[in-house]
Copies of this chain bind each other. A is one copy, B any other.
């Protein structure tokens, strides 16, 4: 239950104005405590498709800064410096999260103290910590060493055709031009380069329908699928080194369906297989590999997206890695999931993932991010952009 705001409340729209119930604008303070900003961002629910409140807050918070050109596109917000620097970097993060837990684990809460403190709640890992760092630095860095394009976008967690970064690339490719890109996806404050590609295919078996009382008159398509599952179960996924990073592939059945009634021998069974492949393969190469694996079966490609090579041999990428790793330690690693670095890769812009939060906790009910990751990533990005 929500109580109606009292007459004269500052949240109440003036006569003649309209506001959806509960649509109280959120104000983000970009110059205060970083963790308070992080939590304030998480506390605005922004499940894919419902990012408007957070996008409004981001836009409203950035507009006052004279050093930023701010552009809104749908629920994406782009803010950039125009200092005429020799190089431009794009630093991007998505505003949306996967659906809330039931009951919702928002507002966020902090568990533990000091260096051990963790912020719990939806979005704390994927990826509102990165968004908080971007916002704080966008406000602070009036004269960064490179021109910076800060990108905040919508619909990352859903179907690729809805992706806000993809939409920006269609509407305003100029806004995404740059020499190097950093995506704030969770990497536990390390650098993860490139990403694997993904291909989904349907492997179908066919048979002849019959009544299950006389199965010898038919051919059971589900039984025939045993060979498809045998090949999947026996498949040994490769580990592939690309540009010095090791990508671990995967070949997984993600769905299987067959059967039309409890007394009918089915004449069709479909196994949906998702192949996650190292970025040495393009989509055509990945498709050829899957068709080879399932030789003799009907294979139909349903969707796919190429991966991205790590790109860490680009000069700006190397400089970024050196600066960041001087602060955070460790070595660059391969990003095992698919991320929007592949979109930059497709534009010819080298890109890496770098952000707070353990990627294995993304989308989990116990999603939580160490405060230390947020401050470390903030410090490393700040160092690199101000040297």
Interface residues of A (CB under 8 A from B): 196, 198, 200, 211-217, 220, 222-226, 229-230, 232-233, 237, 248, 250-259, 261-266, 269, 271-272, 274, 276, 303, 336-338, 360, 363
Residue from the list B198, B257, B261, B336 in contact with A214, Cβ < 8 A: B336
Chain B residues near A253: list those with CB within 8 A. Answer: 220, 222-223, 258-259, 266
Q: A230-B230, A254-B266, A266-B254 are in contact. Are A338 and B213 (CB under 8 A)?
A: yes
A103 to chain B, nearest CB (A): 21
A-B pairs with beta carbons under 8 Å apart, 17 shown: A198-B263, A212-B276, A213-B250, A213-B336, A214-B248, A214-B250, A217-B360, A222-B271, A223-B232, A223-B233, A226-B226, A253-B259, A254-B266, A255-B259, A255-B266, A262-B272, A263-B274
Select from chain B the residue with minimum beta-carbon distance to A302: B262
Interchain CA distance A212-B232 in the complex, whole Å = 14
Interchain CA distance A229-B272 in the complex, whole Å = 16
Interchain CA distance A237-B265 in the complex, whole Å = 15
User: A259 to B254, Cβ gap below 8 A?
Assistant: yes
Residue from the list B216, B225, B232 in contact with A248, Cβ < 8 A: B216
Q: A211-B337, A214-B336, A237-B215 are in contact. Are A252 and B220 (CB under 8 A)?
A: yes
Chain B residues near A233: list those with CB within 8 A. Answer: 223-224, 226
Chain B residues near A226: list those with CB within 8 A. Answer: 226, 229-230, 232-233
Residue from the list B220, B256, B363 in contact with A222, Cβ < 8 A: B256
Residue from the list B198, B256, B337 in contact with A258, Cβ < 8 A: B256
A223 to chain B, nearest CB (A): 4
Q: In the complex, given contacts A226-B232, A254-B259, A262-B272, what are 13 additional A-B residue pairs having Cβ atoms less than 8 angstroms apart?
A: A211-B337, A212-B274, A212-B276, A214-B250, A214-B336, A215-B250, A222-B271, A225-B256, A226-B226, A226-B233, A254-B262, A256-B256, A262-B274
8 nearest CB pairs, A to B: A255-B259, A226-B229, A222-B253, A213-B337, A215-B250, A212-B274, A223-B233, A226-B233
Chain B residues near A214: list those with CB within 8 A. Answer: 248, 250, 336-337, 360
Select from chain B the residue with minimum beta-carbon distance to A223: B233
A16 to chain B, nearest CB (A): 45
Interchain CA distance A337-B212 in the complex, whole Å = 8
Select from chain B the residue with minimum beta-carbon distance to A229: B226
Select from chain B the residue with minimum beta-carbon distance to A303: B262
Residue from the list B196, B223, B259 in contact with A272, Cβ < 8 A: B259
Chain B residues near A223: list those with CB within 8 A. Answer: 229, 232-233, 252-253
Interchain CA distance A265-B255 in the complex, whole Å = 9
